[in-house]
Structure 1
Amino acid sequence: MPEATSHFLFRRPNLPLAVAWEPLPADALADEAMTEIPLLGSVSAGLPIEACLDSASIHVPTRMVRRNTYALKVRGDSMIDCNIFDGDVIIIERQESAENGETAVVMINDQEVTLKKLYIEKSGVRLQPANESMAPIYLKNSDIQVLGLVMGVVRQGEMAA
């Protein structure tokens, strides 16, 4: 992916995801060190899709990289109210747990992955889209595995303006 047309959104801590994104200014990026991270495939922002691993990579500003960072390409529109759109590449920090309401990459039944807000409820978990036209997914705790949390977004081309 050509970095020249990429726009990087960095997640500010302790804010709801819909307003947490801070664009990294292009002039600041000129002097910023870039780090290569693995682009492991796609994640559905919609109906869960089969987990398939890729072996590509992407360069992102070093400040967006922690210890276990990787990237996934977003497919679908279920997270548009969190400013995550179809075609974006999300920067993920690998974690096995999520706080109530956090936006997480979740594996369902060891085979499908999706990007949703995670809510722990009495009867199990609710995977909530950030798009009011889409219904939540209700599952048992044992059906899901948290793979990581969204820490940044890379937006390509004219969508980034």
Structure 2
Amino acid sequence: MPASPTRFLLRRPNLPLAEAWALLDDPEPAGTPLVEIPLLGSVSAGLPIEACADTSTIRVPSCMVRRNTYALRVRGNSMIDCNIFDGDVIIIERQESAENGETAVVMINDQEVTLKKLYIDRAGVRLQPANERMAPIFLKNSDIQVLGLVMGVVRQDELAA
């Protein structure tokens, strides 16, 4: 059975994440070389999971890579309304801050990692899933550390919903 084609979704700026994805059609023939970036493990799109490092790599179009880019495999369905599904690999730009409403990889209490929309105010932090069937997580500002923002998605066709 032949391998399913890989699809690369690039985040377009200044759009809500659910509408922000541009499909890169067959990047190599179009002249966009593939480059290797670290695939550092998994991130939960659901209940936070313990941060576990991995040391593999993934090849992505060079236009998806910036200064401090890495990838994480998504586990769970809390971000499906942003077109991020269980099994997808997300492309992350390492950053230590996020604007309200941005989709971020967040470490909780230096132990667990999750992927959620981030909202911060004086009362604390709300980590909001993009799945109406899942409840938000409320924390103190000091409980979280932003690890990076979602810039792209790599999806195998059999994983696509």
Alignment of 1:1-161 (within 5 A): 5-26=5-26, 28-30=27-29, 31-160=31-160
Equivalents in 2 of 1:4, 1:10: separation in Å? 19
Structure 2 unaligned residues grouped into runs of 5+: none
Using the TM superposition, give the Cα deviation of residue 105 of structure 1 relative to its aligned residue in structure 2, in angstroms.
0.0
Matched-pair identity in %: 78
Aligned-residue CA RMSD (Å): 1.6
Residue 4 (structure 1) shift: 6.9
Distance between the aligned counterparts of 2:152 and 2:49, measured in 1? 21
What secondary structure sits across from 2:99 in the alignment? coil
Q: Looking at secondary structure, tell me which structure has more helix per residue.
A: 1
- In 2, Cα distance between the equivalents of 1:111 and 1:82? 25
Aligned-pair distance for 1:157? 2.7
Amino acid at match of 1:62: S
Runs of 4+ aligned structure 1 residues displaced above 3 Å come to: none
Please list the CA deviations of residues 87-139 of structure 1 after superposition, one character each: whole Å capped at 9, or x if unmatched.
00000000000000000000000000000000012210000000000000000
Give the counterpart letter for 2:66 in structure 1: R
User: So what's the TM-score if we normalise by structure 2?
Assistant: 0.95
- Superposition TM-score, scaled by structure 1 size: 0.95
Q: Which amino acid aligns with 1:96?
A: E
Q: Is the 8 A contact 1:45 1:116 kept in 2?
A: yes
Counterpart amino acid of 1:93?
A: E
Distance 1:143 1:127, change over 3 A: same
